[in-house]
Amino acid sequence: KAGVTQTPRYLIKTRGQQVTLSCSPISGHRSVSWYQQTPGQGLQFLFEYFSETQRNKGNFPGRFSGRQFSNSRSEMNVSTLELGDSALYLCASSLVLAPDTQYFGPGTRLTVL
Amino acid sequence: GEDVEQSLFLSVREGDSSVINCTYTDSSSTYLYWYKQEPGAGLQLLTYIFSNMDMKQDQRLTVLLNKKDKHLSLRIADTQTGDSAIYFCAERPDNFNKFYFGSGTKLNVKP
């Protein structure tokens, strides 16, 4: 069974631009969560989607948004990029909302110049 | 809020045992996890333990949970150079699929 896939793997943007990252969960998994990983803040929870609905949200500004499609694929969008948004963005999928184990994708490395 | 703490670095010699420690604060945590992250990669689930268990063993990995002290440890027996990575402890409070991660422990295995 294929693992969690994320595209693109690497992205370079400039301040003020917007970006969309994509995540395809493991087949059959319905829950997708997003995390931001930076050297200074570590791993921080962004949000979680289940059945196309946002179920949980972390403490990030409204510039960070996401959605989930009927096939469970998810996208996250960051508008008006700031230098501090440079990070590894990780997507994780699980079978059901809770409780369940999350399996992570390889991440998208976003660099904001 | 939830707070998960880990020491930042651990250095061991190949063949020795490694013990990575973690403390957490949420007493309602149902599941506690260990993940491994190699350079440039995502997180790989190593093992997890239910909060009603004290110990779980999986090949070279042993997880010990002390609920009273809210202390979790991961022991890697016969540590190999391929075990060099960052190890994250994570807790998930009851009824939420939101994970809280520690800052990660960088394990360096010297040949």
Instruction: Output the 3-class SS for A68-89.
Output: ECCCCCEEEEECCCCHHHCEEE
Q: What is the mean pLDDT of residues A65-86?
A: 97
Task: Say what percent of chain B tops pLDDT 70.
Answer: 93
Q: Which residue has the tokens 């009927």?
A: A70
| Residue B44 in contact with partner chain A when CB distance is under 8 A | yes
| Closest among B99, B104, B106, B110 to B26, alpha carbons compared | B99
**Mean pLDDT across chain A, nearest whole number?**
92
Half-sphere exposure (CA, 13 Å, Cβ side) for B33? 24
Q: What is the mean pLDDT of residues A74-92?
A: 96
How far is it, in rounded angstroms, from Cα A27 to Cα A29?
Answer: 6
Check CB contact under 8 Å for A56 and B30: no
Residue A85 φ/ψ, nearest 5 degrees: -85, -5
Residue A87 φ/ψ, nearest 5 degrees: -175, 175
Residues of B in contact with A45 (CB under 8 A): 98-100
Check CB contact under 8 Å for B45 and A94: no
Q: What is the mean pLDDT of residues A73-89?
A: 97
The tens digit of pLDDT for each residue in A31-52 reads 999 999 998 888 898 999 999 9
| Closest among B18, B24, B19 to B101, alpha carbons compared | B24
Cβ-in-10-Å burial (0-12, 13-18, 19+) of A1 comes to: exposed
**Mean pLDDT across chain B, nearest whole number?**
89
Check CB contact under 8 Å for A102 and B97: yes
What amino acid occupies position B93?
A: P
Nearest to B48 among A92, A101, A105 (CB): A101
Pairs across A and B, CB distance < 8 A: 59
CA B46 to chain centre: 8
Among chain A residues, CA nearest to B43: A104
Q: Residue B81 CB: number of other CB atoms within 10 A?
A: 10
Three-state DSSP class for B106?
strand
Q: Report whether pLDDT(B96) > 90.
A: no
